[in-house]
Chain A
Amino acid sequence: MSQLTFARALNAGLRKSLENDPKVILMGEDIGTLGGVFRITDGLQKDFGKHRVVDTPLAESGIIGTAVGLAYRGYRPVCEIQFDGFIYPAFDQIVSQMAKLHYRTMGRVKMPITIRVPFGGGIGSPEHHSESPEAYFTHTSGLRVVSVSNPQDAYTMIQQAIASDDPVLFFEPKRRYHDKGDVDEAKDLAQALSMEKARVVTEGKDVTLVAYGPLVKTAKDAAIAAADEGVAIEVIDLRSLAPIDFPVLEASVRKTGRLVITHEASQSGGLGAEIAASITERCFNYLEASPVRVTGFDVPYPYSKLEMHHLPDLDRILDGVDRTLGRPNSLSGLEG
């Protein structure tokens, strides 16, 4: 067991995948000589060569489109999209090609491609560097979408994503890159929790709070704060955004009867809506209150001096928790 930052844990996971499978190829802008703008691939080109860790031209569709061709050839590409807001030029290759080829060819052609996306805000960046585009991809059949929240998961789940024969969108919370945590590098991948499974990270009996990626830490902090007031929040780290591990959520909601979902992405048409609808369908009779979403607003990602208003924080999450509990909250008197 060692203490690693999120960034180093990802680096170690990528290294392990490169060592274990000669068909694994890393590709992206600035990932080679520079080691990536966040240094996630630091040192890998030096150790594995320019044909395993490939600096690409500045063309996101080109990165994913050539990865599709490499997958046709039997490779297992791992693409880095430098920032969340730069994934859109690759949208067509992701949605129309990578996601559909297995279905199109009835399984004759596999697309074991992982796309790493540093995502989310909170780092004071200019436009296009703080977005949360995951719902575009969870809405796309053929993709698996995951988001990691801690160094240990970063280390194991990147390897699981790369080993998957399906394409995986891998969302990394860039504002947590420097957070440290225990990482067991000797952990057997087969024994590790599947990347498809949600995890209860804080047990509680009063309210289920679902988060993923950067907000898992915020959610855990909220649970600690609520405990002081005698409210036991059960925090669930979703981990897999598509498919969502509904059985874990259902079990929790059947216990608590209350559901709060939080994400940085805009509210409407987002994952919170999907979770609220599905849980309502699946355990309506157990719900004591309507599900509540605490999310980014339906605005373009704002300028950095306002991002703290856009991003759900501990207090906004607790306000949402109060709503499900019928305790005094910011909307008291407004809703039924």
Chain B
Amino acid sequence: MLEGAINVLTDEVGPGANSPGGQGNGTTNPLRTGGNLVQLISPAGERINHPEFDVWIKDVSDYQLLSLYEDMVVIRRIDTEATALQRQGELALWPPLLGQEASQIGSVRAIRSDDFIFPSYRESGVAYCRGAELGEIIRPWRGNALYGWDPHRINMATPQIVIGSQTLHATGYAMGIQNDGADIVAFSYLGDGATSEGDVNEAMVFAASYQVPLVFFCQNNHWAISEPVRLQSRVQLADRATGFGIPSMRVDGNDVLAVMAASRIGLDRARKGGGPTFIEAVTYRMGPHTTADDPTRYRDANELEDWAAKDPIVRLKSLLSVKGLLGEEAQASVQAKADSVARELRDACATMPDPAPLDVFNHVYSTPHSWIDHQKDHYSRYLASFGGSSQEGAL
């Protein structure tokens, strides 16, 4: 019974996806804009006109389109290199972003530098574009610290591992923006699995009640480790938001222009006092959940093939090629940039200083704390009993 019931949701993307099927057809929901699935670049690389969304990306020049392509190639290269570093034992773990490049680049390139981002743990590409150093991006995955970048330097919180928690932080941050009367926006990433979490639902209640300047950007990559999105929701995720009174859109998350347009719509609405927006970017996690995962245990190879045909980079490359923007020289330049970033990443990993033993006690509190001081003193004596050099590190 349950098996039949949860199959109500259709979650296909691409040709045919605009036909009504399953619940939550956007055309009947006044808070849903853009139709069932907004697509501005087809998987074959054709530009599809969509008057409502086109106006939001009409300023994107050929040069900028090429730049988006370069971003996507570079973050895929970062992902490949980091995955290799994990396989070589240099990183303890890595959450690949393969397949989600358009979702990450299309959104982050729409966000202003003074807006504040609350990511999950997979937004390494977002962090890179935000100005995080490569060593900072991999530092927590190497185990050298629990965080990478200074959130206040790049206006982006550290990766959030507890699923969905960051949506409440983003909502609170947006409440603060509202109090300050600032024209900035909080932008929260989340995944399809997160939509089942209580915190995400509470975040939507708070955000809607206070009408805060916030964008919920949900990358529906179809899999929460081994659980398919249909286990999380009987309706399209974008329709969940409208139940809270939050306007939503459902866009092709492998289409960098559709993602950028939707992000700009949400950001603009928030900046003008129009409250929160929920964006469902329909994409696909082509790799494992993390390097510790084995997706062959729970999904078909056919499914992966279907999605490979909708690859976000391939389709943009086709579009650029047709426009005559991606000749050999341009392609070589993009590749050179990606290779250079990969080398830099590897170097950053190799030269990262290890923390010192007594660093374990640092920063638990902002001011001295008698219990910590007591334990640090005792452990320091213990370490000193073996002789040797200073146990204090640079962190």
Contacts and interface: CB of A to CB of B under 8 A. Distances in A.
User: Are these two chains actual partners, yes or no?
Assistant: yes
A144 to B, nearest CB: 7
Interface in B138-186: 145-147, 150-152, 157-158, 162, 165, 167-180, 186
B206 A97 contact: no
Interface of A: 25, 51, 54, 56-57, 59, 61-62, 64-75, 77, 89, 92-93, 96-97, 100, 102-110, 141-142, 144, 164-166, 196, 242-246
Nearest to A67: B172
B364 interface: yes
A54 B172 CA distance: 12
Contact of A166 (B146, B198, B366): B366
A65 B168 contact: yes
9 contacts: A62-B203, A65-B199, A69-B170, A69-B171, A72-B157, A102-B364, A106-B147, A106-B362, A165-B367
Contacts of A242: 371
Contacts of B170: 69
B165 to A, nearest CB: 6
Contacts of B209: 57
B203 A243 contact: no
A74 B162 CA distance: 23
Most buried by A among B116, B173, B205: B173
A260 B69 CA distance: 70
Given A57-B202, A61-B198, A68-B172, A105 B366 contact: no
A97 B202 CA distance: 16
Contact of B165 (A54, A65, A67, A103): A65
B266 to A, nearest CB: 18
B151 A69 contact: no
A69 B198 CA distance: 17
Interface residues of B, number: 44
Contact of B370 (A66, A102, A109, A246): A246
Interface of B: 116, 118, 145-147, 150-152, 157-158, 162, 165, 167-180, 186, 198-199, 202-203, 205-206, 209, 362-367, 369-371, 395
A76 to B, nearest CB: 11
B176 A74 contact: yes
Contact of B172 (A70, A108, A166): A70
Given A59-B206, A61-B199, A69-B173, A96 B165 contact: yes
Contact of A97 (B165, B177, B179, B365): B165
Nearest to A71: B172
A133 to B, nearest CB: 19
B367 A108 contact: no
A110 B203 contact: no
B363 A59 contact: no
B150 A108 contact: yes
A70 B173 contact: yes
Contact of A51 (B162, B174, B179): B179
**Top 7 closest pairs, chain A to chain B, by CB:** A69-B172, A65-B168, A73-B176, A66-B172, A62-B202, A69-B173, A69-B169
Contact of B206 (A62, A74, A105, A245): A62
Contacts of B165: 65, 92-93, 96-97
B363 A102 contact: yes
B366 A107 contact: yes
B147 A65 contact: no
A168 to B, nearest CB: 11
Contacts of A96: 162, 165
Nearest to B140: A104
A93 B197 CA distance: 13
A245 B169 contact: no
A75 B199 CA distance: 21
B176 A243 contact: no
Given A70-B176, A105-B151, A142 B364 contact: yes
Contacts of B172: 65-73, 77
Given A97-B162, A104-B146, A105-B151, A59 B205 contact: yes
Contacts of B152: 108-109
A134 to B, nearest CB: 15
A61 B363 contact: no
Contacts of A93: 165, 168, 199
Contacts of B147: 104-106, 108
A242 B168 CA distance: 27
Given A69-B175, A69-B176, A104-B147, A61 B168 contact: yes
A73 B177 contact: yes
A246 B180 CA distance: 43
Nearest to B145: A106
Given A65-B172, A70-B173, A108 B202 contact: no
A108 B206 contact: no
Most buried by B among A56, A102, A105, A106: A105
A51 to B, nearest CB: 5
A75 B364 contact: no
A201 to B, nearest CB: 21
A62 B209 CA distance: 12
A243 B203 CA distance: 33
Given A65-B169, A68-B172, 16 more contacts: A61-B202, A62-B171, A62-B205, A64-B168, A66-B172, A68-B168, A69-B174, A70-B175, A73-B176, A92-B162, A102-B366, A105-B151, A106-B145, A142-B365, A164-B367, A246-B370
Nearest to B164: A65
